[in-house]
Amino acid sequence: MSTGARRKRSKYPESPGVVDAKDAGDGMTHKEVVLDAGALIAIERGDQALRVYTWLAERGLISLTTSAAVVAQVWRGGSRQTRLSRFLNSDLVSEEPLTAATSRRIGVLSAATGAKDVVDGHVALLALERDALVLTSDAGDIARWGVAEGRLVSC
């Protein structure tokens, strides 16, 4: 680089340190990541760790998914949620609907685990069906639905 020239800084790090977080401790590499309400709130706040996951998704290294029920939990609209709105409207995340068939699968899972929160149930079901990691602010709630601790990443 010549003297005086500056390299333009990306809003995402060049070498994310959480690439290894995709290894859930069981020797398997996970390309799917499910976001709970805490993760969407962290995105809204500009959390560095969530920006790294977004960076990975931009490069096609991981796929991000959330539940439409999770979006309903955190969505309030207005200018305070501009960052979250941009993220949800991007092609970086898929928002899975709570369909009739999904509702019934969550009900069966609830009966099997004794867990009650339907939104957490949808997050857990998405993770279990995709063999995915879950970015969560409350690992205990998601674990109650049968998601292994090694697949839960706190945010």
Protein fold of 37-154: Rossmann fold (3.40.50)
Note whether 36 and 138 are within 8 A (CB): yes
Q: Domain coordinates of the chain in residue numbers?
A: 37-154
Q: Using CA atoms, how far apart are residues 135 and 148, in angstroms rounded to an integer?
A: 13
- Rounded-to-integer distance, Cα 39 and Cα 22, Å: 16
Give the pLDDT score at 24.
Answer: 44
- Where is 153: in which H helix or E strand? strand 152-154
State in Å, rounded, how far the first CA of the chain is from the last one: 37
4: pLDDT strictly greater than 60 = no
Taking alpha carbons only, the member of 9, 40, 20, 10 closest to residue 155 is 40
pLDDT at position 76 is: 95
Q: Is the pLDDT of residue 129 over 60?
A: yes
pLDDT in tens, 71-125: 999 999 888 899 999 999 999 999 999 999 999 999 999 999 999 999 999 999 9
The per-residue pLDDT for 30 is 58
Q: What is the pLDDT of residues 8-63, one digit of tens each?
A: 333 434 333 343 444 444 454 659 999 999 999 999 999 999 999 999 999 999 99
Residues contacting residue 108 through CB under 8 Å, at least 6 positions apart:
none
Q: Report pLDDT for 79.
A: 87
pLDDT of residue 78: 84
